Amino acid sequence: MTVGKDMHELVERLYPLCRSITGDGVRATLEIVGEYVPLQVHEVPTGTQVLDWTVPQEWNIRDAYVADAAGNRVIDFAASSLHVLGYSVPVSRTMPLSELREHLHTLPEHPRWVPYRTSYYTPEWGFCLAQETLDALPDGEYEVCVDSTLADGHLTYAEHVVPGQVSDEVIVSCHVCHPSLANDNLAGIAVATFLARALAEETPYYTYRFIYAPGTIGAITWLARNAERIEQVKHGLVLACAGDSGRLTYKQSRRGDAEIDRVLRHVLAASERPHHVTEFTPYGYDERQYCSPGFDLGVGSLSRTPYAGYPEYHTSADNPDFVSPEAMADTLAVCREAFAVLDRNRKYVNLSPYGEPQLGRRGLYDSLGGRSDAKQAQMAMLWVLSLSDGEHGLLDVAERSGLPFDTVAAAADALCEAGLIKA
């Protein structure tokens, strides 16, 4: 469980930072992630046209508070980045509580929690606080300060590439735009980062490109800047809400039958983990950008409890205590299992297709001697030979035969070495 503990420590490091769709909070986040995996950081200027969108002005904040007549900060950005409405324009005024209320956001149904709210594309200012804090505020004058800037700057995103045996790519995407929210989005960042480290220790078949970008506008910016090479992207996975105690949820790509969809369905079912597979909807995380009809990439989304599916979602209750090392380690394990299948799921041609080749003469039966799964391994060889017609991949073999994918892949390796099939 060491890897789970390490991921949780990364979540704790990132949690206090004030992230948004632009700004120094994103840069600070990527700087920390860069200690774990090398990143190529991209800065895209304000005003850049990216598909149907335009890169917005950059937002940065230094301080923000609401103070009572005695100077006590009753709402303090220093205590939590959630206390300020994201992208709040600067303000420095004194006003009565009746006027201030128009700019305050609470969750009456959860009176101790602070909500997460933003106003990216409408000039506005505001504060978020617990309903019980608001209820305790007496009438009177309050000093209001938002020390922020909204000015021309850049949108920042980063990539990390794990080279593969081929240039065809698998993208793994996570969003880096939310402030102090541990499950959404920090657990996804942590799982992606440690997945990249694990893949770097192997020699993967595909090239894996990890994308750390602000939600929506960041993915759109990446797509706009990579449109000419998008055909290299063969598969993809969006990671979010990766650390809560709920069962795993896989949201399929828009296609529904993309190879990544089949792989995740197979891996989750074979693992016997509690899980749920859902159809694609054009709402949620950045899978909807990658799957938009002009690109139509085979990109699904893996989470535990899905988008907006738990009460703590987008509130101060989504803190480091809400995510666990065990849950993140489990999410990471599923990713590794899925990509192991994806990497090995190739098609073969039977080089002795007229009748069943004599396996014993080639020592293939002898190689199974003493194995507890010898019968299963023998059946896997026969199934691989039967379906090696250039049309069926190893996942097809595993699904049709009901045999474990690893057994099927091992059979393919043995048959390939014996010269009976070729990729």
**Domain boundaries along the sequence of the chain:** 2-56+154-344, 58-151, 347-422
Bridge partners, residue 151, by sequence: 58
Buried (b) or exposed (e) across 30-45, using 16+ Cβ within 10 A?
Answer: beebbebbebeebebe
314 is in an annotated binding site: yes
Looking at residue 19, what is its pLDDT?
A: 98
Under the banding of pLDDT at 50, 70 and 90, the label for residue 32 is very high
Residues with Cβ within 8 Å of 142's Cβ and at least 6 positions away in sequence, in order, are 66, 67, 68, 69, 74, 94, 95, 96, 97, 100
Looking at residue 377, what is its pLDDT?
A: 87
Select from 357, 360, 407 the least CA-distant residue to 385: 357
- Cα angle value 32/33/36 (rounded, 5°): 105
**Position 239 pLDDT exceeds 90:** yes
Q: Tell me which of 3-17, 163-177, 357-371 is least confident.
A: 357-371
Under the banding of pLDDT at 50, 70 and 90, the label for residue 219 is very high
The pLDDT mean for the chain works out to: 96
Q: Tell me which of 21-30, 76-85, 347-356, 361-370 is least confident.
A: 361-370
Looking at residue 359, what is its pLDDT?
A: 87
Give the separation between CA 310 and CA 382, rounded to whole angstroms. Answer: 47
175 is in an annotated binding site: no
- Average pLDDT (277-287) is 96
Q: pTM of the predicted model, to two decimals?
A: 0.95
Strand, helix or coil for residue 111: coil
Q: Which run of H or E residues covers position 347?
A: strand 347-350
Q: Tell me which of 51-55, 160-164, 170-174, 361-365 is least confident.
A: 361-365
Give the separation between CA 187 and CA 176, rounded to whole angstroms. Answer: 11
Classify residue 120 by its DSSP letter. Answer: T
Q: What are phi and psi of 9, to 5 degrees?
A: -65, -35
- Domain pair 2-56+154-344 / 347-422, same fold: no
Give the separation between CA 160 and CA 121, rounded to whole angstroms. Answer: 29
**Position 373 pLDDT exceeds 70:** no
Q: What are phi and psi of 385, to 5 degrees?
A: -60, -40
Give the separation between CA 413 and CA 419, rounded to whole angstroms. Answer: 10
Looking at residue 371, what is its pLDDT?
A: 53
Strands 299-303 and 248-251: antiparallel
Strand, helix or coil for residue 308: coil
pLDDT in tens, 117-153: 999 999 999 999 999 999 999 999 999 999 999 999 9
Looking at residue 102, what is its pLDDT?
A: 97
Looking at residue 360, what is its pLDDT?
A: 82
178 is in an annotated binding site: yes
CATH, range 347-422: 1.10.10.10
CATH topology of domain 58-151: Glucose Oxidase; domain 1 (3.50.30)
Give the separation between CA 274 and CA 247, rounded to whole angstroms. Answer: 5
**Does the domain at residues 2-56+154-344 carry the CATH identifier 3.40.630.10?**
yes
Residue 85: exposed, middle, or buried by beta-carbon count in 10 A (0-12, 13-18, 19+)?
buried
Are 26 and 213 in contact by the 8 Å Cβ rule? The answer is: no
Q: What are phi and psi of 150, to 5 degrees?
A: -130, 105
- Average pLDDT (318-324) is 98
